[in-house]
């Protein structure tokens, strides 16, 4: 009964929130022509609220997040790419939750996700916001990378985007593990069980398109010593955030569980490691080796987590420090109330014009 009640609320929440978002975007089109930057700022705030509603579904079911490693709030105002391991549909919901308290990151974020998400209830919102849907498979790969490059050139700067979320493995762990291990064996690469070897194409396109260059051709990005600096001098992509998601007992949460809440309260653990773009090789072979090394490290992180229940401490430290991520219940109440009041308002407006016609 509880699951059915939750599901009914999700349906109602989607109907009023997504419909209201679309109506607001339509009514604000004149502003888009007059002041594009302000329009995309307002759209981004509404987008963040929508993702906050999704996060609240898991929050009230007891699906919380514990964060480890570097504090990514320090780079929340800079441009960054998140490289995330992918285990289940719940990975996206987890990121929607743990990034809510990172300033305007969610509002200015672009997601790269499987094209199947285009046909979900949230697909139209992602299309309006400017997320990119990528089609998997060798036959589509070259065309999709070309489309991604054009998409970034058209939408990233013009919509004032700052962060990109990318799942380099190209699919869920359970679906790609066997193929990845066969590829690793054939090419004398490490045998991985908790992650798969990443694909290079999308990462290469993103870095080529977004990394600013100095006069000597080297990347102009952030430096580890500058974490937390408010300097606006650096432009272009400045950081890569290596993000590792771990679930207790290696049992990932899927979107159905997130919605219906039939699993017992669970803490998902997210580990961050920030790399200055200056330390990342941009040529294809060097980038491939660098990415492989990151996922080898993810394998070690996850192995340690599944054995001990915690991530290992950083080099030079005796213990790892975790931070509990929290959402404000009052803030959730306010955005949910705004969604339902907006839905009621737009229903009456549309009904009025219908009767007039």
pTM summary value? 0.89
Q: Per DSSP, what are the bridge partners of residue 243? A: 84, 272
Interatomic CA distance for residues 172 and 88, integer angstroms: 6
CA angle in degrees (0–180, nearest 5) for 166-170-172: 105
Q: What is the pLDDT along the chain (357 residues), one digit of tens a residue?
A: 888 888 899 999 999 999 999 999 999 999 999 999 999 999 999 999 999 999 999 999 999 999 999 999 999 999 999 999 999 988 999 999 999 999 899 999 999 988 877 877 788 999 999 999 988 777 777 888 999 999 999 999 999 999 999 999 988 888 888 888 898 888 888 889 999 999 888 999 999 999 876 544 556 655 554 554 444 444 789 999 999 999 999 999 998 898 888 899 999 999 999 999 999 998 988 999 999 999 999 999 999 999 999 999 888 777 888 999 889 999 999 999 999 999 999 999 999 999 998
DSSP structural state of residue 249: G
The 3-class SS string of 100-135 reads CCCCCCCCCEEEEEEHHHHHCCCHHHHHHHCCEEEC
C-alpha span between 60 and 336 (Å, rounded): 13
DSSP string for 284-318? HHHHHHHHHHHHHHHHHHHHHHHHHSSPPPPTT-S
Residues 206, 153: Cα–Cα separation, whole Å: 10
Rounded CA separation 65/269 (Å)? 6
């Amino acid at each position: 009964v509880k699951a059915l009640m939750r599901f009914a609320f999700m349906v109602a929440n989607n109907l009023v929130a997504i419909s209201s978002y679309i109506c607001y975007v339509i009514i604000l089109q004149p502003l888009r022509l007059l002041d594009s930057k302000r329009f995309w700022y307002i759209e981004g705030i509404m987008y963040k609220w929508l993702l906050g509603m999704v996060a609240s579904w898991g929050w009230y079911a007891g699906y919380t997040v514990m964060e480890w490693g570097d504090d990514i709030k320090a780079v929340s105002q800079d441009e960054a790419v998140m490289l995330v391991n992918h285990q289940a549909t719940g990975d996206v919901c987890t990121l929607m939750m743990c990034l809510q308290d990172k300033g305007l990151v969610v509002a200015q974020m672009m997601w790269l996700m499987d094209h199947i998400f285009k046909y979900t209830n949230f697909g139209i919102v992602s299309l309006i916001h400017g997320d990119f849907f990528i089609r998997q498979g060798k036959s589509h790969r070259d065309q999709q990378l070309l489309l991604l490059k054009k998409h970034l050139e058209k939408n990233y700067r013009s919509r004032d985007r700052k962060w990109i979320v990318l799942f380099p493995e190209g699919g869920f762990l359970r679906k790609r593990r066997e193929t990845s291990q066969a590829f690793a064996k054939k090419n004398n690469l490490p045998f991985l069980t908790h992650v798969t070897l990443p694909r290079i194409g999308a990462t290469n396109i993103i870095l080529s398109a977004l990394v600013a260059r100095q006069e000597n051709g080297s990347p102009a990005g952030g430096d580890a010593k500058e974490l937390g600096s408010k300097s606006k001098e650096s432009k272009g992509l400045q950081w890569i955030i290596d993000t590792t998601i771990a679930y207790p007992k290696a049992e990932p949460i899927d979107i159905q569980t997130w919605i219906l809440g039939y699993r017992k309260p669970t803490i998902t653990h997210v580990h961050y490691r920030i790399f200055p773009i200056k330390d990342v090789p941009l040529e294809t072979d060097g980038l491939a080796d660098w990415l492989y090394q990151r996922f080898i490290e993810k394998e070690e992180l996850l192995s340690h987590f599944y054995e001990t229940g915690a991530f290992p401490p950083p080099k030079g430290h005796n213990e790892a420090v975790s931070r509990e991520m929290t959402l404000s219940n009052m803030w959730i109440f306010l955005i949910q109330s705004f969604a339902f009041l907006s839905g009621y308002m737009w229903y009456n407006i549309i009904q009025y014009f219908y009767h007039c016609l």
